[in-house]
């Protein structure tokens, strides 16, 4: 298995744990090659998460995230992980 894939998958699971701790039911969009890596659903809303390791999203990825249609109670986030750090920097799109 590709080590980049393995590291990225581990960060996606970490983001899922963070969402679950915050009261969301997280879903990983494995293999979809879509805009969002993780989606969290709760009674109060939806969280859409793009997980990145070591680099920021490209301009094209940012444009795709901004343009993505979603309900008004949805929040679009980037979880930016740095190598060696357990928690991500969280940015709203």
Greatest C-alpha distance within the chain: 38
Q: Find all residues with CB under 8 Å of 73, minimum gap 6, and list them.
A: 44, 45, 46
Instruction: Give the pLDDT score at 89.
Output: 95
Assigned fold of 3-92: Trna Endonuclease; Chain: A, domain 1 (3.40.1350)
pLDDT for position 1: 62
Mean pLDDT by 10 residues, the chain (93 residues): 78 96 94 86 96 93 96 96 91 96
């Amino acid at each position: 298995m590709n080590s980049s894939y393995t590291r990225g998958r581990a960060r996606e699971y970490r983001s899922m744990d963070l969402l679950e701790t915050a009261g969301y039911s997280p879903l990983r969009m494995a293999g979809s090659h879509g805009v969002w890596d993780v989606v969290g659903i709760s009674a109060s809303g939806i969280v859409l998460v793009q997980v990145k390791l070591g680099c920021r999203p490209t301009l094209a990825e940012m444009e795709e995230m901004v343009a993505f249609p979603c309900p008004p109670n949805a929040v679009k986030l980037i979880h930016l992980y740095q190598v060696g750090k357990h928690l991500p920097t969280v940015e709203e799109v």
